[in-house]
Amino acid sequence: MAIDLARVLGAELPATTASWDADDVILYHLGIGAGARPLAAGELAYAYEDGLKVLPSFAVIPAFGVLPGIAEIDGFDVDPALLLHGEQELELLAPLPPAGSVRTTARVAHVWDKGSGAVAVFEATSSGPDGKPLFVNRFNCFLRGEGGFGGDSGPAPAHEPPQRAPDHEVACPTLPQQALLYRLSGDKNPLHADPAYAAKAGFERPILHGLCSFGIACKAAVDTVLGGAVERVAGYRARFAGVVFPGETLLVRLWDERDRVVLSVRTQERDSPVIANAAITVRSAA
């Protein structure tokens, strides 16, 4: 095993700082498909600085820069090519402002034994200039070939959809250049832009970022169930179940369970799963 659990568990990644302004928020929103209907009620609020509101999924962007620090963890000798982003969890401790700055600290919170592989959970806490935490990200990464060490398998998958028809189904088209737009928010992995690199990874062409699909589904839930009230999102968790090719349409199924919105996402063209075991935790309306 290339992971020394005794050294890795609890290990801290180098802290990072990040700041953003209205242009960064708007670019992120455009990267997940906002603004496609600029005259629709509420839509311009995602793409125009006058009255700009911030989707809670934007919180993955200021924290993303901490992940390269994984390579500096003593005892974590893993080939990056074998690391897959399997799940994302987000806690919002306060609504996100249109401009701000944070310092992000991160640690290895868990390493779960999944048999054929292991799951490492990198917990990143982002705090404002006053030192108060604003949001927490948990990046769950599946490590192929690193399981079977006799450890705890971790919690069972949660947020299975209710046994009834969804309350809403939203079709979210993506653009052929969607990944090229989204990567400008910071994830420059060539898998999402370079056809030759994608082919080496076993894909017929570049695929959409999982966190782009994560954002698209979040927006669909906020707009459809919460009436655009971004401040009501307290948390969001999703498992990445499959790939999307830019230009495909995502079908986002939503179940309104009052204190949570359960999500399930598939591609329209291939009827292939994209996001599963997903839910948004909802704050009570003020």
Give catalytic residue positions. 187, 192
Do 194 and 206 form a contact (C-beta atoms < 8 A)?
yes
Count Cα atoms within 13 angstroms, Cβ side, for 79.
Answer: 7
Beta bridge partners of 169: 253
Q: Which residues contact 54 (CB under 8 A, 6 or more apart)?
A: 25, 95, 96, 97, 98, 230
Query: What single-letter DSSP state applies at residue 80?
Result: G
Residue among 170, 172, 282 at smallest CA distance from 229: 282
- Cβ neighbours, 10 Å, residue 168: 14
Place of tokens 């592989």: 117
DSSP element (H, E) containing 233: strand 233-240
Distance of alpha carbon 18 from alpha carbon 126, whole angstroms: 9
What are the phi and psi torsion angles at 138 (to 5°)? -125, 110
Two structure tokens written together for 10: 């609890």
Numbers of helices and strands, H then E, in the chain = 6, 10
